[in-house]
Chains A and B, each alone.
Chain A
Amino acid sequence: MKLAVVVQRYGQAVNGGAELHARYIAEHLARHAEVEVLTTCATDYVTWRNALAPGVEAVNGVAVRRFRVKRERDPHLFARRSDRVFEHRHSLGDELDWVDAEGPNSPALIDYLSASASTYAYCLFFSYRYWVSYYGARAASPRAILVPTAERDATIGLSMFQPVFRGVRALMYNSHEERAMIEVVSGNQDVPGVVVGIGSDVPQNPQPARFRQKYNILGPFAVYVGRIDQNKGCTQLFEFFQGYLRDAPGRLTLVLIGHSLLAIPENPRIRHLGFLDDADKFDAMAAADLLIMPSYFESLSMVALEAWALGRPVLANGRCDVLKGQCLRSNAGLYYETYGEFLETLRAIEQNRWLSGTLGRNGRQFFRDNYDWPVIERKYLDMLGRLSRESAPRAMQPLPGPLERHRQDRPPAEEVVAALPTGPSLVRERDDLPRAEGGPGPRAWSRR
């Protein structure tokens, strides 16, 4: 069986969420099938500048075929078109212009895919929002499997993606919340889908003492791993943690790992270590009492899964449906929405070792049951096997003609997203068995 993995960027030095996801999946599926990656020559997601040579090369044993990007992204044009489709009533043509402005535009890749799609059993497209995925899924729709990596942002409210969600052969979701959101937006309940996510290569024997010695960290601490950015909820985290030090002085120190785009508060109990390599990162997480995830928007928090894999509890922002849902489903983390809840949950995990230990154990079990690589690989292989037994149901709905494209009948995307139900999905991971064809899954999406 030959598989194609289509993604906007690819390489060992490319660390974007969807790109890393694509690389891990490609490398693990390469153990079971012949995998070829189709991607662009770009490495920078802002400009899509051609930085690598076109052609075929091997990355970690996986064949990678690169195609040139036709034109770089114009940030001003993209911002104008985003404003147009996200905030105003617009037409389908406006949305197509938006995805053109976003890029990466690589007609060569689409041409190749159109010509060679039949040589692949299936094509896995990562991240629904990019030009290559949108037109690639259309070019190879009978073989297209989409890994949407969708978040609750305005893009999901664009109507141009709905036929894609309905027209691919299958979808591999990251979380139950993502699945519920896409099903509500596009009405694709009859398209085969499964919540998979992604695994992580967590070391078996991390060295917490080595980390403490190397960075001179004594006493209990909470760790945050990731970009230190306002969009990740770090401003609120700093505010809340300083409140914890002021109002309920416990013994915890906050250790921050990652590049910072914010000013770090000057407090001896808040330590910023900068970007660390994987070994130090895992050592830090193993040494920590808990991991804090303050982000508002996540399609799947790999860091939280890694903390659970290491048996550490997670304190998450309850405003993020995905994180809250994962905490509830795993029984391995607490969540907060207000300062009072932050204070109490943090102190609960800090002072109640039984609770902390039980949450950690639950997390480890949750990771093993759902996100260990053998589980992930099995879910992909099961889905491929299921699709090979079924015939392609129908072709994807074609793009309408020029007159239809200019009709100003599409609502602002932000309005569409605001109207979507919110809250964590109540389905448990083990309930996520393959559904009977066309039947609704055992899930409920609560309104908050």
Chain B
Amino acid sequence: MPDFNVRSDSVNVEQIMEQIRARVREKRGVDYTEQQIRELAAVKLEKFLDPRGVRSDLLDQFRNTQPDPRPNYAFEEETLFETHRAPIRWIRRLLRPVLKLLFNPNPLIQALHIQAQLNTMNAEREAARHGLYFEVTHNLVIETTRLGIEVKNLTMRLESLASRLEFNERRARALESVVAYKSASDNERTAPAGAPVAAAIPAVAAPPASQPTMVARESQSQSGPAPEGPGQRSRRRRRRRGRRGGAPAVATMGGSTGAGPTAPPSVGRTGAEPAEVAHGASGETGGAPTSEATGARGNAAESVGHAIAAEAHPSEPQSESGLNPPDIDEP
């Protein structure tokens, strides 16, 4: 996620790019360009050839394999008869027909001439082969460098994935333990106490509201008393409101007729009525356990919240959209 912070009204692209590069370095290690890889490889190759490097004899070996300019000779038609003394050269040329009467030097001259050419060609070929060796070695070093960097990056990614996996497992365990804890505590309680758990579970696991949870069903089946009818509940609620609201005892004792003068307070609370009804089902049937159940409910929500928030791992995306709510707009 892009987690750079730009909070001012104007942006500075240079600053943003610095933050993005830092982010890239943090996530992927150093992201080398092709040119940088080549430079690194070149540095390594030089080190490789440096006698002070890791293997000092390799430079000598490399130098030894380098073809030295081997001595060669040029053998032409006149080579046999050449001399720097002009009179002797003149005499030799004069007597050359006589020499050719005794033996034929031409095959000898030709053979030596071909041999000289062969030597030259061989030297050129060896130099080319040496260049090829050097290039192959150079390319190997480049590829090795590239692979080394890739391995490093992959290792970092693997570590990141492993930490994320570990975090997810811990979160899953935390969620499971919360659900198990609530079920066990409910079993210990009397039947009416099952309802708060049923109310708390949707807040955690968010099953559909219309479907009772497994815990709720179990608690209901275990609890003995039959569910109250709506008439009973509303009467009790009215009585309790009368007591809490400080209404006159007459009005309270007046039963349904007391709705006239005390109506405004109750009407004023109609906005909160559905919530109260939802929670009231547990509070009223439980009597004393009401506060406990509410506290347990709060604890359940708290513990789940802590389980999620307290174990937030650095590698975990804190929110899918980004790290800074003011900056990142969730799509």
A binding-site residues for B, Cβ under 8 Å? 220, 251, 327-328, 330-335, 337-341, 343-345, 347-348, 351-355, 358-359, 362
From A251, A333, A345, A351, give the contact of B20 (CB < 8 A).
A345
Contact B20 A355, beta carbon cutoff 8 Å: no
A340-B31, A341-B21 given; 4 more Cβ-contact pairs under 8 Å: A220-B331, A331-B10, A340-B27, A348-B4
Q: Which 5 A-B pairs have the closest CB atoms?
A: A348-B2, A340-B31, A353-B329, A340-B24, A338-B31
Q: Does B1 contact A (CB under 8 A)?
A: yes
CB distance from A314 to the nearest CB of B (A): 10
With A352-B327, A352-B329, A354-B327 in contact, do A344 and B13 touch (Cβ < 8 Å)? no
Contact A328 B13, beta carbon cutoff 8 Å: yes
CB contacts (< 8 Å) of A351 on chain B: these are 1-2, 321-322, 328-329, 331
State in angstroms the CA–CA spacing of A343 and B28 once bound together.
11
State in angstroms the CA–CA spacing of A337 and B326 once bound together.
29
State in angstroms the CA–CA spacing of A335 and B14 once bound together.
10
Main DSSP-derived SS at the B contact region? loop
CB contacts (< 8 Å) of A359 on chain B: these are 11, 13
CB distance from B37 to the nearest CB of A (A): 11
State in angstroms the CA–CA spacing of A359 and B15 once bound together.
13
Q: Does B12 contact A (CB under 8 A)?
A: yes
Within 8 A of A (CB), among B265-324: 321-322
B binding-site residues for A, Cβ under 8 Å? 1-2, 4, 6, 9-14, 16-17, 20-21, 23-24, 27-28, 31-33, 321-322, 326-329, 331
CB distance from B324 to the nearest CB of A (A): 9
From B1, B6, B31, B326, give the contact of A341 (CB < 8 A).
B31
With A347-B1, A351-B1, A355-B327 in contact, do A334 and B20 touch (Cβ < 8 Å)? yes
CB contacts (< 8 Å) of A328 on chain B: these are 13-14
Contact B327 A331, beta carbon cutoff 8 Å: no
Name, among B9, B32, B327, the residue most crowded by chain A CB atoms within 10 Å (CB to CB): B327
List, sorted by A's number, 18 A–B pairs whose CB atoms are closer than 8 Å: A220-B331, A331-B13, A333-B13, A334-B16, A337-B33, A338-B31, A338-B33, A340-B27, A340-B28, A347-B1, A348-B2, A348-B16, A352-B322, A352-B327, A354-B326, A355-B6, A355-B11, A362-B10
State in angstroms the CA–CA spacing of A353 and B1 once bound together.
13
State in angstroms the CA–CA spacing of A362 and B16 once bound together.
15
CB contacts (< 8 Å) of A338 on chain B: these are 24, 31-33
Closest to B12 in A: A331
Closest to B11 in A: A358
State in angstroms the CA–CA spacing of A345 and B6 once bound together.
14
CB contacts (< 8 Å) of B327 on chain A: these are 352, 354-355
CB distance from A418 to the nearest CB of B (A): 13
CB contacts (< 8 Å) of A352 on chain B: these are 2, 322, 327-329
Closest to A220 in B: B331
State in angstroms the CA–CA spacing of A334 and B13 once bound together.
6
State in angstroms the CA–CA spacing of A358 and B6 once bound together.
11
CB contacts (< 8 Å) of B21 on chain A: these are 341
Closest to B14 in A: A328
CB distance from A214 to the nearest CB of B (A): 24
Contact B328 A339, beta carbon cutoff 8 Å: no
CB contacts (< 8 Å) of A333 on chain B: these are 13
CB contacts (< 8 Å) of B4 on chain A: these are 348
CB contacts (< 8 Å) of B326 on chain A: these are 354
Contact B33 A344, beta carbon cutoff 8 Å: no
With A344-B20, A351-B2 in contact, do A251 and B331 touch (Cβ < 8 Å)? yes
State in angstroms the CA–CA spacing of A337 and B32 once bound together.
10
Closest to A357 in B: B329
CB contacts (< 8 Å) of A347 on chain B: these are 1-2
Contact B24 A344, beta carbon cutoff 8 Å: yes
State in angstroms the CA–CA spacing of A344 and B13 once bound together.
14
From B11, B33, B329, give the contact of A331 (CB < 8 A).
B11
CB distance from B313 to the nearest CB of A (A): 19
State in angstroms the CA–CA spacing of A409 and B222 once bound together.
104
CB distance from B22 to the nearest CB of A (A): 10
State in angstroms the CA–CA spacing of A345 and B19 once bound together.
10
CB distance from B298 to the nearest CB of A (A): 35
State in angstroms the CA–CA spacing of A265 and B325 once bound together.
36
CB contacts (< 8 Å) of A220 on chain B: these are 331
CB contacts (< 8 Å) of B31 on chain A: these are 338-341
